[in-house]
Every structure is written in C-alpha cells, then in structure tokens.
Amino acid sequence: MREAFSSIDPPCDLRSFVQMKSTLRSTLSGTLLALLTMGLPSSGADEIVARVGATVISAEEFSLRSGELREAGYQHLRAPDMGAKRQLLDGMIAQELLVLEGLRRGVGEDPVIRADLERTERRALMNALYDSQALLGDYSATEQELRDYFVAQQYDVEVLSRHIVCDTEEEAVGVIAELQSGTPFRTLVARHSLRSIQDRFGPEGWVGWFRVGELYEELQEPLKNMPPDAISAAPVKTSLGYHVFGLQARRQATFDSSREFIEQKLRVQKRADDMEAYIGRLRQQYNLRPDTEGLSLLAAIPAPDSTSSNADHTLISWDGGQLSVGDFLDLVRAGRTRHPARMDSSTLRKEVDNQAGVLVMITEARQLELDSLLPVRKKAEDRRRELFAKWLYQQVGRKRAQPDTSTANVRRFYDENTDLYTREDGVVTDFSQVAGSIRALLKNQAETAAMDSFLAELRRRYADDIVVDEQVLDRTHPEGF
C-alpha cells in the first residue's frame, strides 16, 4: 500500500510561470496607495492585512508569502519599512486578482487544472496526516543498525552491467540467440532496446555501477551471482520490460564510502515502516470490506471501455464510505489508475484497495481538520495561483502581445546593446549568432508589456473588491528580511 499512497503525479512544467514571475517583478510596484484603504476586523494572530474579493490575506500568511515574493524578484527590499511591505502586499494582491479573473473566466473548471488542484490537495492532506499521526518516532540509527542494514539490503556489493530491454519476451529470447551467435551487443541495443532505455543509457547499453540493493528485485540475484563477462541465459522481466543483460564486473563497496547514503535510506525505511503501520491501523479503524462480486464485474470490463451498466456496484466499502465500479472508472478516465483490463486479478484487487485507502486517508485528514491548517491550505492555494497565472499568461499575454521581431528591429536592438554581446576579451559576438535569442527576448518583452496592461485593467475592474488594513500591515513582520 505504501507505494500507491505515495505515488502522486509530479507537478506540471512551470517554465511559463517563470515568465509570469518576471511580469510580476516588472509591474507590481507603487500602486498600493491607490487601493481603497480601510479598517478590517482583526484579532491577534488572525489579524487580516487585506481582502481581495472573498480571499483574506492574514498577517501570518503575509509573513510567509512575502519571503517567496522576495525570492521571485523583490530582493532589493532591504528593510521591513512600510514602503517595502506595501510592495510585497501589492504583489500578493496582484496574484489574487489573477485568481479572481481566472474564476470569472472559468479556468477552475478546466479538467486538467481541476485534476491538478485536486491532486495537490490530496498530496498536502496525506503529507499532513503522515506528519501529524504516523511519523512520531526517532528515526536516527545506531552504528550497528547502519552496518546491519548495509549488508541486509545488499548495498555492500556493486555491479557494472549493460542491458537491452525489449518489449516482449519473444523478442528478448531472439536477442539472446543473436548474442550467442556472435552479434555485437551494441548492434542489438540499437535494433531491439526500448527507445526510452537507449535515450537514458546510450547506444552501448551500459547502466554504470549500481549497488545490488538498488536494482530491480528481479535482477538482484542474477547479477550478484553470475560470472563476469557472462550474458543472461534467459530474459528477466521487470516493470520496464524484458531484460537481456551482461555483467562486466563486480566489486565490494565499503561501508564508510556509503555511510551517508545508508543513513538516508534507513531513515526513509523507518519512516515508511511507521507509515505502513499507521495505514494498517486506519484499515482496522474504518473496517475496509472488499466485495468479490464487484471486483469480478470490474475485471470483466473490456478495454478501452470506461463505462459500465454496473457502475453503482460496490467494489470495497468501509465505515462511512465506499468505492464503486463507477468511481474506479472515473479514476481511470482521470488518469489516476490503469484500466482494469490491463491488470491481472491480484494487481487489480491491490489497486482497488490502494484507491480506497487514499479515500480513507483523506476522510481521516478532514475529520482531524487538517485541511484548515495554513501549510495545507497554502499548498493548494499556491498551486491555484500558479496554474491560473500560467493560463492567463498564455491566453492573454501571448495573444495580446505584438512583438516586432523583424530583422531591422532585431538589428536595432543589437546595435543599441552591443555591450551585452561583448566578451571579456573585447570581441563583439557576431549578430548572426545572437539574432535568435534577441527575437525571443523581444517576444518576451512584448508579452510582459501585454500582461502589464492586463494587470492594470484588473486593478481598475476589481478596485472595489480590494481592502487593505494599513495598521495591521504596519504591525506585521515579513519573513525573509
């Protein structure tokens, strides 16, 4: 269960949002004084610095987010005087205006963005649950524990091997036959190894030195025991595919050279054990009950169908909830699990159990009111700001931008900024070598100008929805100064 509970998709590429940060740096300054300023109800640690629509920026949140804004381009603010704090708050207000505009445009209903936000909230809640309920022990280790773990996990032996990973067992058997007949390994890598493996490990198939304990479990015994310069007698299947491999060398690894690695791995293992134990306690607490008939109905759905006449049938239930056939198919459509037809019965049963476990954990986190904690809310809200800003930058900034990237204008920029292209030895880089980067810069400048104009429009449109408490702002101490 541990693997499924921690297999949250990584966040999407934020290169465009880096450009959005650049826009905020260049535009958000000096306008806070034009905002409507009036007193707001406040009390102690819950004092409110500002409201933007229905969103409040508390003194605590202002302190936390100010540090992030300074990293995004406000490093020039050296002291927490009112001018500096107004600029920091102005940046936060601009972010919230982008959220308001995104909500008005229905950005939150975009299925990709909605799924991303749900995933972010799940991850934040599960991490908070682990931190507050499961990870309560001392995860340091004694010298003997480290040495025993080093040997038990087979980190004391390293192997150097090369691999061809095939899509099918039949193809892998054919590769072994060709190797035995004298065909060079390199030739077969190019012809048979999966493209992702070739891209990662190169045309020779060498994967470098690996500790045996770091290898796929299916590869550990063969590579630990086969003689050097030998080729595997039969393919070995892992989640990557069917491996044909050769061992070049094997060596002993010293404990001292691996100590830092072992300390980290054992700490992770101890934490994982505590998380596993906590999940077991939750299963008992919620009394998870699988439904054999429902699992059979789910397994019978042919790919690529993602609907079923038995959608309401229960797969697994627990005290206070259930996961139905339809719920599982919703997860398939959302890309959160594989189609049931692509899993064997044992794997499917485990996946249903894992998905139910996630729902139970989220339920428990909400019952403990972990969703009200600022760090949890902040992760979800920060992600929403990022996604909304990225969407608006792409849909507004780029569409409104009118860059002049003609050769004449690119040349004019080059001539006016020769110092930018002068090397330390005084030689000026030839125009032809930098023309492409200048065009990209001019395009970015045009997009930034478009976003400047757009943000100014938002300030006018939402002027009545912005309220700042200057007295609370004055008492607040931004983080990072």
pLDDT by residue (tens digit) across 462-479? 999 999 999 999 888 776
Does pLDDT of 16 surpass 90? no
HSE-up of residue 475 (Cα within 13 Å, Cβ side): 14
Using the predicted structure, report yes or no on whether residue 196 has a pLDDT greater than 80. yes
pLDDT tens digit string along 214-255? 999 999 999 999 999 999 999 999 999 999 999 999 999 999
When pLDDT is cut at 50, 70 and 90, the band that residue 77 belongs to is low
Least confident of 14-18, 216-220, 291-295: 14-18
In this structure, of 57-66, 150-159, 287-296, 319-328, the range with the lowest mean pLDDT score is 57-66
- Summarised one tens digit per residue, pLDDT across range 244-283 is 999 999 999 999 999 999 999 999 999 999 999 999 999 9
Q: What is the pLDDT of residue 481?
A: 56
| pLDDT > 70: percent of the chain | 88
Element (H, E) at 429: none
Model confidence pLDDT, tens digit, residues 41-72: 333 457 999 999 999 999 888 888 777 766 76
Per-residue pLDDT for 374 more than 90? no
Q: What is the average per-residue pLDDT within 85-113?
A: 91
Per mean pLDDT, which range of 128-137, 191-200, 273-282, 472-481 is the poorest? 472-481
As a whole number of angstroms, the distance between CA 270 and CA 299 comes to: 35
What is the chain's mean pLDDT, rounded? 86
- Long-range Cβ contact pairs of 12-17 (< 8 A, separation 24 or more): 12/116, 14/386, 14/390, 16/390, 16/393, 16/394, 17/386, 17/389, 17/390, 17/393
Q: Examine the pLDDT at 15 and tell me if it is beyond 50.
A: no
Highest-pLDDT range among 79-83, 168-172, 374-378: 168-172
For residues 9 and 3, what is the distance between their CA atoms, to the nearest angstrom?
A: 12
* Residue 267: partners with Cβ closer than 8 Å, 6 or more residues away: 139, 140, 141
**Is the model's pLDDT at 39 over the cut of 70?**
no
352 compared with 67, residue with greater pLDDT: 352
Residue-wise pLDDT tens digits, 304-331? 988 899 999 999 999 999 999 999 999 9
Report the distance separating Cα 246 and Cα 244, nearest Å.
7
Closest C-alpha among 101, 136, 187, 192 to residue 384:
101
Domains for the chain: give ranges and CATH numbers: 157-252 (3.10.50.40)
Task: Quote the CA–CA distance of 210 and 350 in Å, as a whole number.
Answer: 30
Mean pLDDT, residues 17-43 taken together: 34
In this prediction, residue 81 carries a pLDDT of 78
Which pLDDT score is estimated for 330?
A: 93
For residue 12, what pLDDT is reported? 32
Assign residue 53 a region (left: φ > 0; alpha: ψ between -120 and 50; beta: otherwise): left
| Full-model pTM | 0.71
DSSP per-residue string spanning 95-121? HHHHHHHHHHTTGGG-HHHHHHHHHHH
Eight-class DSSP state of 304: T
Q: What is the structure's pLDDT at 337?
A: 93
Residue 6 — very low, low, confident or very high, per pLDDT cuts 50/70/90?
very low
In whole angstroms, what is the distance from residue 9 CA to residue 383 CA? Answer: 14
Residue 380 has pLDDT above 70, yes or no: yes
Residues 200, 335: Cα–Cα separation, whole Å: 25
Q: So what's the pLDDT on residue 34?
A: 29
CB 328 within 8 A of CB 339: no
Q: What's the rounded Cα separation, in Å, for the pair 448 and 24?
A: 9
pLDDT band with cut points at 50, 70 and 90 for residue 423: confident
Residue 159 pLDDT greater than 80, yes or no: yes
Amino acid type, 392: L
